Amino acid sequence: MKKHSGMRPQDIVVLLAIVAQGDSPWMMKDIAREACISPSEVTESLHRSYKAGLIDKSKKKVMRHALLEFLSHGLRYVFPQEPGAIVRGVPTAFSAAPLDELIMSSEKLVWPYAKGQERGQAVEPLYPSAVEAAISKPELHELLALVDALRVGRVRERELANAELEKRILNGR
């Protein structure tokens, strides 16, 4: 196993893919497929997450309170993002569910994606394959969009995203 040298963006995608499983049992190959990340990257990611205290020793149970704390208080400093040029893509942050129902805005934020149906300011996803993963699994899309709201949102948007993440991560909805 490689030496732990800090969290990487794909680690968040892997952890959120596990959270999106709910209480269903999963195997690493399932997470690799759903997150569109290679199985070896998932293995290394789980090792880094274990070292960071975000998953238990068996690497099967996400430490949900620790993950929520990291997302709420550290993510925007570790993986910052600023909206960019207007592009075609897939909605994220407050432009995607569930925040699009709570925040009315003429601005749109999207992950750049050639087959996307929306136009808006570009927000680079945490990991390049996260867009494909989000398209194929709505629960994961919502989690990733909420995480992007933490990365790019203003105070109100971050507060709403935190409340929604708490519901999904701690309460399983």
Whole-number average pLDDT of the chain: 94
Domains and CATH numbers, the chain: 9-78 (1.10.10), 86-170 (no CATH)
Quick: pLDDT tens for 112-145. Answer: 999 999 999 999 999 999 999 999 999 999 999 9
3-state secondary structure of 118: strand
Count of Cβ atoms closer than 10 Å to residue 10 Cβ: 22
Count helices and strands in the chain by DSSP H and E runs: 8, 3
CA distance 157 to 85: 21
| Residue linked to tokens 């701690």 | 170
Q: pLDDT tens for residues 61-77?
A: 999 999 999 999 999 99
Rounded to the nearest 10 degrees, what angle do helices 39-51 and 9-20 cross at?
100
pLDDT band at 6 (very low <50, low <70, confident <90, very high): confident
List the alpha helices (DSSP H) in the chain: 9-20, 28-35, 39-51, 64-73, 75-78, 130-136, 138-152, 155-170
Retrieve residue 33's tokens.
């497929």
Cis check: omega of the bond before 98, within 30 degrees of 0: yes
The whole model's pTM is what? Answer: 0.95
